[in-house]
């Protein structure tokens, strides 16, 4: 058989063409199926990753919020950090700030009334703004938070004061301290007033070589964490109850629950 006729015979063999087409189609279909499966797997993986990310984000946001996220800063926050509980911090903005105290031994100009010897003008300011310890109404909840027994605290009865059924008597200890200082001021030079107006701290007083002094001399003009004292004095007057009425009606009635006498007695 000639080569040319053999070539024609084999090249014209029809059954091989449909077979090749079927195989190619099957491979294409298989490839499409595998691609679809891979796409499905990728889609499921993407969904799971998204869900995990959302959960992690929510957990992170929750923890951040609980640890003090973007919350409004509490009134007098700086004072709260170094003080025991007092409802005053919720009643007035004391404007705490760092101020330099005039601690010079012989201040120039007109010194604070706390550093003046007794005189008519200073005495008037002391008596009107500082000496008088004014009663301030607080609630039963305030008293409990302060660690005191509300059952023995004098109550400001609603039918007398019109303050509701949850008003009790308290007073600022600061003005009690200033009252004691005023007693000393009348006989001595009241140079401790600045420390009372500010919050006591652990500031250091440096000692310097000073003209006229043989040994290092202390510089008492330190930076202290103080409040707006004039604002507090004004608020103290406005927030307190009427003093004349208080003296008139707040005598102890019979049958009230009392604290033992040793809570206020200082001697036998």
What predicted TM-score, i.e. pTM, was given to this entire model?
0.59
Using CA atoms, how far apart are residues 124 and 250, in angstroms rounded to an integer?
27
Q: What is the DSSP letter of 155?
A: B
With contact defined as beta carbons under 8 Å apart, do 229 and 216 qualify? no
Query: Domain check: are 46 and 95 in the same one?
Result: no
Query: Domain check: are 58 and 152 in the same one?
Result: no
Range of the domain at 49: 14-66
Query: Domain check: are 213 and 82 in the same one?
Result: yes
Confirm whether 3 is domain-assigned: no
* pLDDT at site 108: 74
Query: Domain check: are 42 and 162 in the same one?
Result: no
Q: Report phi then psi at 81, rounded to 5.
A: -65, -25
* Average model confidence (pLDDT) across the chain: 75
Confirm whether 104 is domain-assigned: yes
Query: Domain check: are 139 and 38 in the same one?
Result: no
Query: Domain check: are 85 and 40 in the same one?
Result: no
Q: Is the pLDDT of residue 17 over 80?
A: no
Token pair for residue 70?
């973007």
Which 3 state secondary structure label does DSSP give 47? helix
Which of the two residues, 27 and 192, has the higher pLDDT score?
A: 27
Which of the two residues, 241 and 5, has the higher pLDDT score?
A: 241
What's the rounded mean pLDDT across residues 4-29?
50
Confirm whether 263 is domain-assigned: no
Query: Domain check: are 122 and 214 in the same one?
Result: yes
Token pair for residue 5?
């006729």
Query: Domain check: are 60 and 81 in the same one?
Result: no
Confirm whether 46 is domain-assigned: yes
Which of the two residues, 195 and 141, has the higher pLDDT score?
A: 141
Using CA atoms, how far apart are residues 202 and 191, in angstroms rounded to an integer?
18
Helix residue spans in the chain (DSSP H)? 3-11, 16-66, 77-80, 120-125, 140-145, 158-161, 173-185, 193-197, 229-239, 243-249
Query: Domain check: are 50 and 104 in the same one?
Result: no
Total number of domains in the chain: 2
Confirm whether 268 is domain-assigned: no
Query: Domain check: are 23 and 148 in the same one?
Result: no
Q: How confident is the model at residue 39 (pLDDT cuts 50, 70, 90)?
A: low
Using CA atoms, how far apart are residues 147 and 150, in angstroms rounded to an integer?
9
Which of the two residues, 58 and 21, has the higher pLDDT score?
A: 58
Query: Domain check: are 51 and 132 in the same one?
Result: no
Percent of the chain beyond pLDDT 70? Answer: 71
Q: How confident is the model at residue 42 (pLDDT cuts 50, 70, 90)?
A: low
Confirm whether 259 is domain-assigned: no
pLDDT by residue (tens digit) across 143-188? 899 888 888 888 889 999 999 999 998 988 888 888 887 777 766 6
Residue 242 Cα distances to 138, 197, 245, angstroms: 15, 25, 5
What's the rounded mean pLDDT across residues 82-110?
83
Please choose, from the candidates 149, 135, 168, the residue with its C-alpha nearest in 3D space to the C-alpha of residue 259.
Answer: 149
Confirm whether 25 is domain-assigned: yes
Query: Domain check: are 216 and 93 in the same one?
Result: yes
Q: How confident is the model at residue 266 (pLDDT cuts 50, 70, 90)?
A: low
Confirm whether 83 is domain-assigned: yes
Q: How confident is the model at residue 202 (pLDDT cuts 50, 70, 90)?
A: low
* pLDDT at site 242: 93
What's the rounded mean pLDDT across residues 230-258?
91
């Amino acid at each position: 058989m000639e080569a040319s006729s053999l070539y024609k015979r084999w090249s014209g063999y029809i059954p091989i063409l449909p077979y090749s087409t079927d195989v190619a189609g099957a491979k294409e279909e298989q490839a499409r199926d595998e691609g679809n499966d891979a796409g499905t797997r990728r889609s499921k993986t993407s969904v799971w990753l998204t869900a995990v990310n959302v959960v992690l984000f929510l957990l992170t946001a929750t923890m951040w919020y609980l640890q003090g996220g973007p919350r409004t800063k509490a009134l007098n926050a700086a004072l709260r950090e170094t003080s025991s509980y007092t409802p005053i911090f919720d009643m007035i903005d004391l404007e705490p700030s760092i101020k330099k105290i005039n601690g010079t031994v012989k201040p120039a100009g007109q010194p604070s009334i706390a550093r003046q010897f007794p005189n008519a003008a200073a005495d008037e300011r002391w008596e009107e703004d500082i000496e008088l310890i004014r009663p301030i109404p607080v609630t039963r909840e305030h008293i409990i938070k302060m660690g005191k027994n509300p059952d023995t605290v004098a109550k400001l009865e609603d039918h007398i004061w019109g303050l509701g059924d949850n008003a009790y008597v308290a007073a600022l200890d600061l003005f009690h301290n200033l009252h004691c200082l005023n007693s000393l001021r009348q006989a001595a030079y009241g140079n401790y007033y600045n420390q009372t107006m500010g919050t006591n701290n652990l500031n250091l007083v440096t000692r310097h070589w000073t003209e006229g002094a043989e040994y290092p001399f202390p510089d008492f003009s330190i930076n202290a964490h103080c409040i707006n004292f004039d604002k507090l004095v004004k608020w103290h007057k406005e927030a307190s109850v009427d003093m004349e009425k208080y003296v008139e009606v707040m005598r102890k009635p019979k049958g009230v629950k009392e604290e033992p006498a040793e809570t206020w007695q200082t001697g036998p």
